[in-house]
Chains A and B, each alone.
Chain A
Amino acid sequence: MATAAVTAEREHYLNKEYGIRSWLLTTDHKRIALLYLISITFFFFVGGFFALLIRLELLTPAGDLVQADTYNKLFTMHGQVMIFFFLIPSIPAVLGNFLVPLMIGAKDLAFPRINLLSWYLYVIAGAIYVHCILTGGVDTGWTFYTPFSTAFSNTKVIEAGIAIFIAGFSSILTGLNFVVTIHRMRAPGMTWSRLPLFIWAHYATSIIQLLGTPVLAITLLLVVFERAFNLGIFDPTRGGDPLLFQHLFWFYSHPAVYIMILPAMAVESEIVACFTRKRIFGYNFVAMSSIAIAVFGFLVWAHHMFVAGISLYSALIFSILSYLVAVPSAIKVFNWTATMYRGSISFTTPMLYAFGFIGLFTMGGLTGLFLACLGIDVHVHDTYFVIAHFHYIMVGGAVMGYLGGMHFWWPKISGRMYPEGWGRLAALLVFVGFNLTFFPQFILGYMGMPRRYWQYPPEFQVLNVLSTAGSTILAVGYVLPMIYFLWSMRYGKIAEDNPWGAAGLEWKTSSPPPTFNFEEEPEVTWEAYNYEEIPAPAEEPVER
């Protein structure tokens, strides 16, 4: 097999065609993945910008940086941008799009044109949302709770709702593509039990996208109708039930958090296996737990509504179910840890993110159990405890999974190595910055600081200042990879086909891969994670 000592004359998916048309009209899943990478990175910065303003405002107890109405817009748009335009697409639309066909030995996804359509829908949705931001924004909280959103808010609720509605279809199409691809286009010999766990987790994610997102779509549509035509479906003064909105909204939005975390777990399995040079412990359990998370995740939504007015009996049911949903996630954490036991561990950048993921996701997950307990939830609902909980999972978990995955597969995607020293530094900064930002928020919440408030009692200031300080470190940690990934595309060491000595079909083709992925259709005769057969990389696959 030719090594990457071959110069750039070798044709691959990046240099096959040049010009803007070849990118904007591409049906190559790898190019579409990069189109998504650019757009979601843009929105990450937009959402991050709002976060920065929030943290600046919260440096002082008084509301002195922005007005209260503006603050409402800041946290609303931070949440909506980060969730709908960054987190939900991130790993599936970038790494999933790039890797799913490669990992199963296919030439592309099942529906390449639908893949491109999903990107255009995302871009259109994003453009509408940016227009919404620039012409006044939206202030309802990311959750669009009624009747404020339908009857009282003076902001651009309809526009934001339509933007997210369209983004939802982008998500549905991605999920549809993955499920059909995984069922129908596996290479000969690639049985279900030989699939990388990355595929299992993306399959589970896709099921959630398919079954949950349409309910969000119809719910947003009803909000738009209600607001536009002055109906009373969710208005309590006119016989409507605001809780109906919440039931319908959370039926999607709770499983949505599993859309955001399962792909990060997908990445985690691949990284842990590679940098402990072992098959993931309990492969079947990890695979099945992905499916279990997808299914159980749909059974717990009303735990967001414990103090909203649902009946005590349904609250009990949802509380018990919420405890159960933690089990499959815990199984994964135990299995990754067991994999590391007596493994040959290398502390590369992806592995640093993987370590961070396990610890931070576990903390986030455990604090979720605090919230699932009805008595505790009464005390900490709508406080910074909740905010800390979900940021530990979404940022400490999902974003670190995303960054770890980007580093791990960067050689495959770009044909270049990123600078390992800088990579490790950035990972460290992210870890330290993250904990400094969000750990104080657990304490703040428990002490009673409410969320979505733009001013607070002076006794909370010290912890808020620590949190803001942490966020600046975190920001540096995020900006660094942007810089050195771009740098590496020109000056980075040229990557071999398999610089990490990793298992998986994607590493058996060149870095970057040719347009049709493989020179010959692969035929799989080995089990997943066959690290006992794969030599460790001859030299340290890192650049000092």
Chain B
Amino acid sequence: MSEHVMSSKFYYTIWIALLGLTVVTAAVSFLDLGPFNVIVALVIATVKALLVVLFFMHVKYASEKLTKIVIVSAIFWLFLLLALSMADYATRLWS
């Protein structure tokens, strides 16, 4: 883990951003964007998650590449589960 001590002001900035994005995602859900509602919601959630991971969990300043490899691998593996399962469900009615 890095020894980098961040300023408390920086943490407060991230905090405000997270709260702001929360309000945004709740508000946007009331707009009719068709299929994009879920995409926007997930994009906002991912931005929030990234803020937490990179700054609150210090991954941005981690000296170790291994930490990032672990995180990316886990997310990729989950994605494998979701994608290959959906490959079955999405194509069941094709034949």
Contact = CB atoms under 8 A, between A and B. Distances in A.
Interface of A: 183, 211, 215, 243-244, 247, 251, 298-299, 301-302, 310-314, 317-318
A211 to B, nearest CB: 5
Contacts of B87: 311, 313-314, 317
A314 B84 CA distance: 8
Contacts of A215: 81
B8 interface: no
A297 B85 CA distance: 15
B77 A311 contact: no
Given A302-B84, A313-B94, 12 more contacts: A211-B77, A215-B81, A244-B85, A247-B88, A301-B84, A311-B87, A311-B92, A312-B94, A312-B95, A313-B91, A314-B91, A317-B84
A243 B88 contact: yes
A299 B95 CA distance: 23
B80 interface: yes
Interface string B44-82: 000000000000000000000010000001100100110
B68 to A, nearest CB: 14
Nearest to A309: B92
Contact of A298 (B80, B85, B88): B80
A314 B85 CA distance: 9
A298 B66 contact: no
A311 B94 contact: yes
Contacts of A298: 77, 80
Contacts of A299: 80, 84
A313 B85 contact: no
Contacts of B73: 211
A313 B80 CA distance: 17
Contacts of B66: 183
Contacts of A317: 84, 87
Contacts of A313: 87, 91, 94-95
Contacts of B84: 299, 301-302, 314, 317-318
A183 B94 CA distance: 47
Contacts of A183: 66
Contacts of A314: 84, 87-88, 91
Contacts of B81: 215, 251
Nearest to A308: B88
A491 to B, nearest CB: 48
A301 B87 CA distance: 13
12 contacts: A211-B74, A215-B81, A251-B85, A298-B77, A298-B80, A299-B84, A302-B84, A311-B89, A311-B91, A311-B95, A312-B91, A313-B87
